[in-house]
Amino acid sequence: MAFDPYAKQNVADPYGTSPSQRLSTALTGLSMQEKGLRRQDQRSRFDLAKAYKKRTPQIEANFAQRGLQDSGMRNLALAESASGFERQRTEQQSGLDAALFNLVAQRMGLYGGYAGSRFEDALGATSSRAETAARIREAMA
């Protein structure tokens, strides 16, 4: 096999001329996505907590207006509200986890591709060297 050390170079892309540069560019993009996801998660989490905080007094007020401040219904309503809040917060967390998982998977894929490229270059170079050495020896003999 004829080894071409410049086969993976792309002079038409200033941001991705070499495989390592392309890897860096891709990783930078993924980092930015991760930061964006985390900011969005924090906003959602904040809004969720804010809504829960607003909702609890409203429940208390509603039951107080009906004279049910210490009733079982009031307690169940507050517990249901807390449970709903927890469920939404968990879903939010699951969404963030899934997004981060995807980013990790993409990063692994990028690293895997990059390592594969390096493996390919190394094998091409060394096997070409071995082939040339064998050919030279046969020609010399």
Euclidean distance between CA atoms 46 and 92, whole angstroms: 11
69: DSSP letter = T
77-116 footprint of another protein as x/- string (CB under 8 A): -xxx-xx-xxx-xx--xx-xxx-xx--xx-xx--xx--x-
Shortest spacing between CB 22 and another protein, in angstroms: 15
> Is the distance from CB of 16 to CB of 22 less than 8 angstroms?
yes
Q: Region of 9 please: left (phi>0), alpha (psi -120 to 50) or beta.
A: beta
16-55 footprint of another protein as x/- string (CB under 8 A): ----------------------------------------
Shortest spacing between CB 100 and another protein, in angstroms: 6
> Is the distance from CB of 13 to CB of 26 less than 8 angstroms?
no
> Is the distance from CB of 125 to CB of 6 less than 8 angstroms?
no
Contacts with another protein in 56-75 (CB under 8 A)?
A: 56, 70, 75
Shortest spacing between CB 25 and another protein, in angstroms: 16
Nearest to 10 by CA among 107, 127, 103, 117: 117
Q: Would you tell me which residues interact with another protein (CB under 8 A)?
A: 56, 70, 75-76, 78-80, 82-83, 85-87, 89-90, 93-94, 96-98, 100-101, 104-105, 107-108, 111-112, 115, 118-119, 122-123, 125-127, 129-131, 133-134, 136-138, 140-141
